[in-house]
Amino acid sequence: MTNKKNNFCIMPWVSLSVRTDGQLHPCCQTLSSSKMNYFKDLKASPINEIESIIKIKEAFLSDSIPNECLQCVKDETNGGSSMRTIKNGIYSEYIESTSFSLDKFELFEIDIRFSNLCQMSCLTCEPWYSTGWYQYSKDSKVPSAPIRSMEDLENLKSLLKVNSKYLKKITLTGGEPFIDPLHDKFLEFLIDNNLNNVQLEYNSSLSINSESLTKSLKLLSNFKAVKIALSIDAISDDAERIRRGLSWELFQSNAQLIKNALSEKSIYFHYTLSTLNSHFLGDVLVWIHNNFPSSTLNTIINIVHKPTEFDSQNLDPSSRKKSIAHNLKTVKENLLQDVSEEEFNHIMKLLNKAHKYLQGGASE
């Protein structure tokens, strides 16, 4: 079977996403299911024989949509882009030149969560992604110990060695990836096996002591390309309130450590729009430009949909209107006179995305 029709998605053939509990998915947007295999299953079977991945491939080759992939359907139905459309675009030439079958697999990218180990308890997060949330959760299913996808690196090492000639990108998230005990050992493995030419990407809140971060950054200096996306939903006291457990002072000093050890262009900022911070976007953009001007173009917006209480479309119309007005006023008075045309266009794109959603539009 080689047909590629309208519903086709490239991800089951080139990507893996390892969840905190070890569930093995084609990408980070795949919905969890009791039918999914786990990372530990790779010990007995190669990836092209994992049953849950094969079933998803079967659906795409027959131009059907697997139930696990309905998030992309929802995103596209609402008028936005999806992981499917984005990745199909990135790998368009590969798709056109390749015949796809059930047993074909070439690992181009992998998204890894070693565990949910994290010192913070951000208000829009939950225990399954942060051990810092355990003390606040009333869910009887929450364990007492961290949730781990793997206890050691052996299966992961074998997987990456077999696919080393294809591998382009590794994404590390969590939890907080920098504090996981496997993190530095993993970097050492990549370096020792000449896999430091891959692009490393992180999602981090920088909730780590500076000494440990410095050690990790020394290892990261051996890699060809590193992108560290820092979560920032507000500044100063407001940031600490939304991202419970955050030290704003430590966040700033750690961001400077990254800048000095790697480069400012290695730093990306992720702002997550919610009911808690819809009126802080302008302030965040001004802070980024004043402190990390090269990262202005590396700033993106994510939108909270769950927990639904934090979905910014649930704000009353008056609050949404005030947020939009405040953001525009802040940016106009403190930022727009001091940016390049490229930066201006990107800032307006970010504002438009957030404000469109606040006005009831689809997230893109």
Q: So where are the chain's domains?
A: 11-86, 107-262, 266-364
Return the pLDDT at 3. Answer: 52
Share of the chain above pLDDT 70, in %: 98
Share of the chain above pLDDT 90, in %: 86
CB of 299 closer than 8 Å to CB of 264: no
Q: Count the Cβ atoms, other than its own, within 10 Å of residue 237.
A: 9
| pLDDT tens per residue across span 134-171 | 999 888 888 989 999 999 999 999 999 999 999 999 99
Q: How confident is the model at residue 122 (pLDDT cuts 50, 70, 90)?
A: very high
- What is the C-alpha to C-alpha distance for residues 328 and 335, in angstroms, rounded to an integer? 10
- What is the C-alpha to C-alpha distance for residues 109 and 89, in angstroms, rounded to an integer? 15
CB of 203 closer than 8 Å to CB of 234: no
C-alpha distance from residue 276 to each of 282, 312, 350 (Å): 14, 8, 18
AA identity, residue 245: G
- The CATH label, of 2.40.50.140, 3.20.20.140, 3.20.20.70, 3.60.10.10, for the domain at 107-262 is 3.20.20.70
Strand partners, 23: 38
Edge-to-edge strands, sheet with 267-273: 24-25, 15-18, 109-113, 169-173, 199-204, 225-231, 267-273, 299-303
C-alpha distance from residue 225 to each of 33, 111, 265 (Å): 34, 16, 10
| pLDDT tens per residue across span 4-29 | 678 999 999 999 999 999 999 999 99
In order, the DSSP letters of 294-314 are GGGGGEEEEE--SSGGG-GGG
Q: What is residue 181's three-state secondary structure?
A: coil
Is pLDDT of 334 > 90? Answer: yes
Q: What is residue 239's three-state secondary structure?
A: helix
- What is the C-alpha to C-alpha distance for residues 238 and 363, in angstroms, rounded to an integer? 24
Strands (E), the chain: 15-18, 24-25, 109-113, 169-173, 199-204, 225-231, 267-273, 299-303
- What is the C-alpha to C-alpha distance for residues 149 and 129, in angstroms, rounded to an integer? 12
